Amino acid sequence: MTPELFVELFRDALWLVLMLVCAIVIPSLLVGLIVAIFQAATSINEQTLSFLPRLIVTILALMAFAHWGTQVMMEFFFSLIERVPTILY
């Protein structure tokens, strides 16, 4: 395995993880920001108020992006399997 191939595989793996995590975390962050702005505007300081909307959005994002995430991971693993001969030699 050459250093260039290792760097390419590592870069592809990190990019895959970044895409999968962002698909779940960004909607939750946006809802948390909206709820925080609402709490600041109304002077409501309830910690549990922001938890439930973020939980619901995270579950919905998981349901919405599950098929896409599985497909992207399968494509990555298939490309890894195709690269096995170049990795070994």
pLDDT on residue 44: 84
CB atoms within 10 A of CB 53: 15
- Residue 68 within a domain: yes
Cα distances (Å, whole numbers) of residue 80 to 1, 34, 45: 13, 40, 49
- Mean pLDDT over the full length of the chain: 92
Domain that holds residue 46: 23-84
Name the DSSP letter for residue 47: T
Does any domain span residue 60? yes
Contact 53, 31 (CB under 8 A): yes
Residue 2: inside a domain: no
Confidence tier at 10 by pLDDT (50, 70, 90): very high
Q: How far apart are CA 61 and CA 71, in angstroms?
A: 16
Average pLDDT of 16-39? 95
- Is the residue at 11 inside a domain? no
Query: Does residue 5 belong to any structural domain of this protein?
Result: no
Which two three-digit tokens encode residue 41? 């505007």
The predicted model scores a pTM of: 0.78
Q: Torsion angle of alpha carbons 52, 64, 72, 6, nearest 10°?
A: -10
Domain assignment present for 17: no
Does residue 71 fall inside a structural domain?
yes
When divided into structural domains, the chain yields a total of 1
